[in-house]
């Protein structure tokens, strides 16, 4: 077991470790990947880059055996393979270090490392052998962890190292790291990078997914770029400087499907100063740190950013969703406020459309009417008593401009399509007659027709003087619908751009952590 990762490769052999050829994968009617080629060589870090939804995760999941129904060929060391399950992939030496770790928190380090493949003696798990072997591997990685320690007792960075140790014990030759540094502090990142160098020396091939430019510049040997499921290109890192890489990633023309009509900008609706949000408690690292921004009546302020930018947490914190775990100053129409629960925010005219309508937007077993009036119950009730006919009229009225497709308003929202469900959530918030709409991915997972309708509605709302803060991970939507764009990276604002200044390249650069001064 130990000698298998002791061999040193000094240079790339001509034969790639993994060759993926003509990979295509479809989800329902949409292609997630179209004819993508991807190769990994011994002893290199291959960065897989692309915007949200470019197909990176899908490609990696195919390599890891999560999806088995794809078109194309995978060869490992020149031998064609076909994985039916993650276990198959694991057997062939593919290991994935997930963003969310896949360790069992309550079990010990040793038990986790040998989970599913215990070392046994006479058919019983041998703690002794497992511990000895664990110590062996941890020593090689230079880690000082007690093999008996429970996983949830050690810091997250060490947990990640344990994942890597687990991969090594399984003789993994191909290690996939999906944004491994998102939860790590700077010294921990250094530790991980030096470990990656060791792994390279041992001949492992590493696939590295990241949204951070500085990381790409530091550790990439080769970069492959995907965009909208297509293969854009693959090049050695030294031949692909930053600006060129961004061009590859963005690359597309922005089509004129966005009907944004600028409206007259009114007085300042919301201003936040030095606002910080601590979703995991005040002791933990904040998800939003010292953010200041403002939005005016009739204006759409777009917030751009990649995964982990903290923009969703910003809106949730603003809306009172994190209780007391917020710091900073908020002024609504010039008056200082700070919301510690959503009902306070709703009363003051805020509405938050969350980014996951099923998990946090809708009460699925309830009817369309019940969902529509849920946030406005206090006003629709009379002395605490509900008036079903009044609720029904209110729902029908607010639903009218939304063009909802349902056989009856008494239907459970469960039975509606994604686009129509989104309209129910929108109706719920319109019913409260908000003056400030916080929209977190309002068009996620809905079809083009429904998207266009939502864009038109956003125009109407701003024309009525409603202020909108819009989060979207789709670059064209962000650029076309926003009157002003703020870009966030790891909880901080890295750029604030007027609409005519904003370009895809600038936004992406800022989203990957490069600070862009105003007026550039």
Binding window for another protein (CB under 8 A); candidates: 29-37, 149-157, 275-283, 361-369:
361-369
- Number of neighbours of residue 224 by Cβ within 10 angstroms: 25
Token code pair at residue 143: 């880690």
- Residues 6+ positions from 403 with CB-CB distance below 8 Å: 423, 453
Q: For another protein, how many residues bind (rule: CB under 8 A)? A: 30
> In the complex, what is the shortest distance from the CB of residue 328 to another protein, in angstroms, rounded to a whole number?
20
Q: What is the DSSP string of 153-179?
A: GS-HHHHHHHHHHHHHHTT-SEEEEES
The residue (of 101 and 374) whose beta carbon lies closer to another protein is 374
Token code pair at residue 449: 């027709």
- Whether residue 376 contacts residue 394, with contact meaning beta carbons closer than 8 Å, is answered with yes
Helices (DSSP H) in 279-336: which residue ranges? 311-318
Sign of the torsion formed by the C-alpha atoms of 320, 184, 227 and 68:
negative
Is position 343 an interface residue for another protein (rule: CB under 8 A)?
yes
Phi-psi region of 85 (alpha: psi -120 to 50; beta: other; left: phi over 0): beta
> In the complex, what is the shortest distance from the CB of residue 342 to another protein, in angstroms, rounded to a whole number?
5
- Residues 6+ positions from 494 with CB-CB distance below 8 Å: 487, 488, 510, 511, 513, 514, 515, 516
> In the complex, what is the shortest distance from the CB of residue 426 to another protein, in angstroms, rounded to a whole number?
13
> In the complex, what is the shortest distance from the CB of residue 391 to another protein, in angstroms, rounded to a whole number?
9
The residue (of 213 and 370) whose beta carbon lies closer to another protein is 370
Site string for another protein, 12-51 (x = CB under 8 A): ----------------------------------------
Is position 336 an interface residue for another protein (rule: CB under 8 A)?
no
> In the complex, what is the shortest distance from the CB of residue 461 to another protein, in angstroms, rounded to a whole number?
19
Question: What residues between 214 and 273 interact with another protein by CB under 8 A?
Answer: none
Cα–chain center distance at 239: 28
Task: Report helix, strand or coil for 138.
Answer: helix
Binding window for another protein (CB under 8 A); candidates: 127-135, 157-165, 237-245, 365-373:
365-373
Binding another protein by CB under 8 A: which of 304, 310, 361, 442? 361
Site string for another protein, 374-413 (x = CB under 8 A): xx-xx--x--xxx-x----------------xxx------
Query: Rule CB under 8 A: which residues touch another protein?
Result: 319, 321, 342-343, 346-347, 352, 354, 359-366, 370, 374-375, 377-378, 381, 384-386, 388, 405-407, 428
């Amino acid at each position: 077991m130990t000698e298998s990762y002791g061999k040193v490769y000094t240079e790339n052999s001509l034969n790639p470790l993994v060759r993926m050829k003509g990979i295509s994968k479809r989800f329902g009617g949409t292609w997630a990947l179209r004819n993508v080629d991807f190769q990994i060589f011994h002893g290199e870090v291959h960065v897989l880059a692309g915007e949200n939804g470019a197909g990176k995760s899908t490609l990696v999941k195919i390599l890891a055996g999560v999806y088995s129904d794809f078109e194309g060929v995978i060869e490992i060391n020149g031998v064609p393979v076909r994985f039916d399950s993650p276990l198959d992939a694991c057997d062939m030496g593919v290991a994935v270090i997930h963003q969310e770790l896949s360790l069992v928190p309550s079990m010990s380090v040793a038990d986790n490392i040998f989970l599913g493949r215990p070392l046994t003696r006479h058919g019983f798990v041998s703690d002794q052998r497992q511990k000895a072997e664990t110590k062996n591997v941890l020593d090689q990685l230079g880690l000082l962890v007690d093999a008996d320690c429970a996983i949830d007792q050690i810091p997250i960075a060490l947990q990640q190292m344990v994942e890597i140790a687990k991969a090594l014990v399984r003789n993994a030759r191909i290690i996939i790291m999906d944004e491994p540094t998102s939860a790590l502090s700077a010294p921990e990142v250094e530790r991980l990078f030096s470990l990656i160098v060791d792994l390279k020396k041992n001949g492992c091939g590493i696939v590295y997914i990241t949204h951070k430019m500085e990381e790409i510049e530091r550790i990439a040997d080769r970069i492959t770029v995907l965009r909208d499921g297509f293969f854009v290109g693959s090049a050695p890192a030294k031949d692909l400087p930053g600006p060129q890489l961004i061009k590859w990633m963005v690359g597309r023309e922005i089509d004129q499907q966005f009907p944004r009509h600028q409206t007259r900008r009114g007085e300042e609706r919301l201003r936040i100063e030095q606002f910080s949000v601590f979703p995991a408690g005040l002791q933990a690292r904040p998800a939003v740190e010292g953010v200041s921004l403002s939005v005016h009546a009739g204006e759409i302020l777009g917030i751009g950013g990649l995964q982990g930018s903290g923009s969703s947490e910003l809106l949730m914190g603003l809306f009172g969703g994190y209780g007391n775990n917020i710091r900073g100053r908020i002024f609504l129409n010039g008056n200082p406020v700070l919301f510690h629960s959503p009902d306070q925010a709703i009363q003051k005219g805020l509405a938050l459309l969350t980014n996951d309508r099923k998990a946090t937007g809708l009460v699925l077993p309830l009817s369309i009417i019940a969902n529509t009036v849920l946030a406005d119950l206090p006003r629709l009730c009379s002395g605490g008593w509900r008036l079903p006919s009044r609720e029904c009229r209110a729902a029908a009225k607010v639903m009218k401009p939304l063009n909802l497709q349902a056989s009856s308003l008494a239907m459970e929202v469960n039975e509606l399509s994604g686009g129509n469900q989104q309209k129910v959530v929108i109706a719920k918030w319109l019913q409260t007659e908000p003056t400030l709409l916080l929209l977190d991915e309002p068009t996620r997972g809905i079809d083009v027709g429904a998207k266009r309708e939502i864009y038109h509605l956003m125009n109407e709302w701003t024309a009525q003087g409603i202020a909108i803060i819009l989060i979207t991970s789709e670059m064209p939507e962000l650029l076309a619908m926003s009157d002003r764009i703020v870009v966030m990276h790891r909880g901080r604002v890295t750029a604030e751009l007027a609409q005519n200044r904003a370009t895809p390249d600038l936004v992406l650069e800022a989203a990957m952590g490069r600070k862009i001064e105003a007026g550039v």
